[in-house]
Structure 1
């Protein structure tokens, strides 16, 4: 048995949105959540464009890097390779954990909607759907084509949650981090995790 409060699978694909990934990882580690992490090659390229972080190419090295970066406990962050089919997320007989793809590229959206399962990340999402486990997809694209929207509708009907990276402005954000926190807070809410990044709507009237 894990001694962590919860386990969440986090997949990262090649859409813009590396700050959302970092914000989510920071929040999960802070809440003592164990993270099963997967990242695509395209996402690594985006990280290089959007952050100053140099992600190690090997899974074991990336695991150590992320653990040190976010101050994770030993074993709290596990990194799985794209073809690591022995990972628990590859089978419905693995641990029943929720999954977030943040950000989710439209290519990944298509693969999940059609059950392609070309790599471990896509397979993990397919497992989440077939086992009726929470699957939260965070697309970051604009504008959306009819193909994108049809895939989103199909996935919603299959039980996934489409949570676009669309920050709100009613809290008068003062920084980019405030905008990032808004989206991360919505993801945490879907995971039934507490968050203090953004005040709940109507909280001041309670």
Structure 2
């Protein structure tokens, strides 16, 4: 009998220049901890945001970024792969590449516009275009307020194409005690949509169901 090695899930994760780098970085940590392989794409603006909002300082080249993120996320060698903005041979750049979900977290309104209009001027935009045309899961996490009519039209257009728009709007019914709790709320919802087990946040109704089972 042939033994089958469990297939490792691959997730494509893009960081763009919106505020909210903490959401994407926490998601990367959780994906690594879940044993996923993560293809990472980081825009130039995202590098600036990450340096502004966190203590993580990313070097300028994809190989150096890959080493830094691998160490930071405590990933296995080869588990986190970083691709440059014009690396057209990266797996997310083609429909014949691995069929993996794409999460853009955080997602700038500029990226929303590019995806809604079919622009493919860099790898992130091309990866989104591929996800849409191949009907792959595409989750976009904007963090903007207020939304203009253009933003809302782009989100509606992308929703109709099959994308999931998940604004970084944490809830409060879990009574967060820290900023990390707020970040984890959003990341837990992302993991749920990706079908990845998570224990960051209890699901709605779990406590009530447990009471009924035990009572």
TM-score with structure 1 setting the length: 0.98
Number of the residue aligned with 2:85: 82
The answer to whether the 8 A contact 1:99-1:125 is kept is yes
Number of the residue aligned with 2:47: 44
Q: Determine which structure has more spread, i.e. the larger CA radius of gyration.
A: 2
- 1:146 aligned to 2:140? no
The answer to whether the 8 A contact 1:4-1:32 is kept is no
Gaps of at least 5 residues in structure 2 are: 210-215
**Number of residue pairs aligned between Structure 1 and Structure 2:** 206
Counterparts of 2:50 and 2:26 in 1: how far apart (Å)? 13
Number of the residue aligned with 2:213: none
Give how far 1:24 is off: 0.2
List 4+ stretches of structure 1 deviating above 2 A.
1-5
CA 196–151 in structure 1, closer or farther in 2 if over 3 Å, else same = same
The answer to whether the 8 A contact 1:4-1:34 is kept is no
Number of the residue aligned with 2:212: none
Gaps of at least 5 residues in structure 1 are: none
Counterparts of 2:6 and 2:133 in 1: how far apart (Å)? 27
TM-score with structure 2 setting the length: 0.94
Give how far 1:5 is off: 2.7
Give how far 1:53 is off: 1.1
SS in 1 for 2:192: helix
Report Cα offsets for 1:170-203 as digits up to 9, x if no partner.
0000000000000000100110111100011100
RMSD: 1.2
- 1:6 aligned to 2:6? no
